[in-house]
C-alpha cells in the first residue's frame, strides 16, 4: 500500500504524515510531496519517501503520484491559482492510476458565501467529474489562524474585529490531520463529504478570554463596524485589498458561515477536538521550540 500526501512541506501535510506514522503506517508506504526539498528532508530522515512537486508543472506530478493507492490533495495556498493547480493534480492522478483521492476543501464549499469557498467548490466539481473515487474533507477554520491576535493583544490589551456576535467552530491542524489519516487508512469513505469542525463554536469574547488567560492579563473584545475595521487595518499597514479580504472574512463569521459544529471531526478521530486555549498554547509552544 502506498499513501501519497501533497503539501507535506507545509503545516497540514506534514502533520498528516506524522499522523499516518502514529497510526502504524510503515514509513516506506508513505510518499510525502512538496515544494521545499529542505523541509521534505526532515521527513525523509524518518524513512518516508519524498519528492519535490509543483502544481504549476504537471510533468512533476504524474511520476510522484504513480503507485498511489490513496492520494491526499491538500489544497494549494495560492489564492486565485488554485483551480488550475488542482485541475493539474486531478488530471495527473487519473493518468497515474491513483486508487482514490481525498481533498481538503472549505466548510459547506458549494453552499456558502464564504469568501474562500469558490475555488474549493470549483475543485469539488472537477473531482466529481473525474474518474476517481473521491472523499471530501471540508475543514473549518484552524485555531492557529488566531496566533497573530495573541501577539497584538499582548501589545494593546484588545481584540478588535468586525465579526459582531459571530462564532467560529475552529479546531487545530493536528485535529484535521488526524481525520485525514483516518480516512486515508480505513475503508468506506468513498463518495463521502465530511463537514469537519471543532466541537465548540466560540465567540470573540471567548477568544479574548482565552488570549487573556495565555498572556496573564485582561484582554477585551472590541467589536467595530466593517468600515472602521477597514480603516484600522489600513492604518496598521495592510494594503486595501488585503484589508478588504480580512473584513470580508469577518463578515462571513458575523453571518454564521463558520459556526457549524456537527461533531463529525471528533467522531472520526475518536476523541474531543482540541479546546481553543489549548490549541493556541500548543501553537505558541511549537513556534518557540
> Is 264 inside any structural domain?
no
* Mean pLDDT along residues 268-281: 98
- Residue 233: all three cell numbers together: 487595518
The 10s digit of each residue's pLDDT in 118-127 is 999 999 999 9
Domain boundary among 139, 156, 187: 139
Residues 36 and 167 in one domain: no
Grid-cell match 469539488, residue found: 124
The radius of gyration of the chain from alpha carbons, rounded to an integer in Å, stands at: 19
Residues 89 and 155 in one domain: no
Q: Give the CATH number of the domain where residue 54 resides.
A: 3.40.50.720
Which of 71-80, 133-142, 242-251 is predicted with the least confidence, judged by mean pLDDT? 71-80
Separation in Å, CA 111 to CA 103, 120, 141, 263 = 17, 11, 17, 19
- Of 118, 104, 75, 108, nearest to 256 by C-alpha is 108
pLDDT at 232: 94
* Mean pLDDT along residues 198-210: 98
> Is 188 inside any structural domain?
no
> Is 24 inside any structural domain?
yes
Residues 129 and 208 in one domain: no
Domain boundary among 139, 159, 185: 139
Distance CA 231, CA 224 (A): 11
Residues 164 and 64 in one domain: no
Residues 151 and 282 in one domain: yes
Residues 97 and 168 in one domain: no
User: Where residue 289 falls among pLDDT bands split at 50, 70, 90?
Assistant: low
> Is 184 inside any structural domain?
no
Residue numbers of the domain that contains 90:
3-139
The 10s digit of each residue's pLDDT in 233-253 is 999 999 999 999 999 999 999
> Is 73 inside any structural domain?
yes
Residues 111 and 128 in one domain: yes
> Is 268 inside any structural domain?
no
**pLDDT averaged over every residue in the chain:** 96
pLDDT at 77: 84
Residues 22 and 128 in one domain: yes
Query: Is 178:223 a contact under the CB 8 Å cutoff?
Result: no
pLDDT at 91: 98
* pLDDT score of 288 more than 80: no
pLDDT at 129: 97
Residues 134 and 144 in one domain: no
* pLDDT score of 78 more than 90: no
Query: Is 229:244 a contact under the CB 8 Å cutoff?
Result: no
**Among residues of the chain, what percentage have pLDDT more than 70?**
100
Q: For the chain, first and last CA: distance in Å?
A: 34
Q: Give the CATH number of the domain where residue 232 resides.
A: 3.90.25.10
The 10s digit of each residue's pLDDT in 3-46 is 999 999 999 999 999 999 999 999 999 999 999 999 999 999 99
> Is 220 inside any structural domain?
yes
Our count of domains for the chain comes to: 2
Query: Is 158:220 a contact under the CB 8 Å cutoff?
Result: yes
Residues 279 and 144 in one domain: yes
Residues 24 and 73 in one domain: yes
- Of 176, 185, 173, nearest to 26 by C-alpha is 185
> Is 90 inside any structural domain?
yes
* pLDDT score of 278 more than 80: yes
Query: Is 203:142 a contact under the CB 8 Å cutoff?
Result: no
Cross-strand bridge partners of residue 168: 202
Residues 79 and 40 in one domain: yes
Amino acid at each position: 500500500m502506498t499513501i501519497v500526501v501533497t503539501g507535506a512541506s507545509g503545516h497540514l501535510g506534514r502533520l498528516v504524515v506524522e499522523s499516518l506514522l502514529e497510526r502504524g503506517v510503515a514509513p516506506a508506504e508513505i510518499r510525502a510531496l512538496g515544494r521545499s526539498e529542505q523541509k521534505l528532508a526532515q521527513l525523509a530522515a524518518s524513512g518516508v519517501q519524498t519528492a519535490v512537486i509543483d502544481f504549476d508543472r504537471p510533468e512533476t506530478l504524474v511520476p510522484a503520484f504513480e503507485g498511489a493507492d490513496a492520494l491526499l490533495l491538500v489544497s494549494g495556498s495560492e489564492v486565485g491559482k488554485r483551480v488550475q493547480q488542482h485541475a493539474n493534480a486531478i488530471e495527473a492522478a487519473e493518468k497515474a492510476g491513483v486508487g482514490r483521492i481525498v481533498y481538503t476543501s472549505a466548510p459547506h464549499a458549494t453552499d456558502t458565501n464564504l469568501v474562500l469557498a469558490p475555488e474549493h467548490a470549483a475543485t469539488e466539481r472537477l473531482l466529481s467529474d473525474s474518474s476517481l473515487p473521491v472523499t471530501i474533507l471540508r475543514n473549518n477554520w484552524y485555531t492557529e489562524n488566531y496566533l497573530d491576535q495573541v501577539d497584538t493583544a499582548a501589545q494593546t490589551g484588545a481584540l478588535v474585529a468586525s465579526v459582531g456576535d459571530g462564532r467560529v467552530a475552529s479546531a487545530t491542524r493536528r485535529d484535521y490531520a488526524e481525520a485525514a489519516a483516518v480516512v486515508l487508512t480505513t475503508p468506506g469513505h468513498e463518495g463521502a463529504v465530511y463537514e469537519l469542525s471543532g466541537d465548540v463554536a466560540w465567540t470573540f469574547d471567548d477568544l479574548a478570554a482565552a488570549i487573556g488567560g495565555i498572556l496573564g492579563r485582561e484582554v477585551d473584545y472590541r467589536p467595530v463596524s466593517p468600515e472602521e475595521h477597514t480603516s484600522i487595518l489600513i492604518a496598521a499597514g495592510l494594503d486595501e485589498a488585503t484589508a478588504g479580504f480580512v473584513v470580508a472574512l469577518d463578515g462571513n463569521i458575523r453571518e454564521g458561515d463558520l459556526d457549524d459544529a456537527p461533531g463529525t471531526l471528533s467522531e472520526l478521530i475518536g476523541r474531543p477536538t482540541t479546546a481553543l486555549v489549548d490549541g493556541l498554547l500548543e501553537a505558541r509552544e511549537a513556534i518557540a521550540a
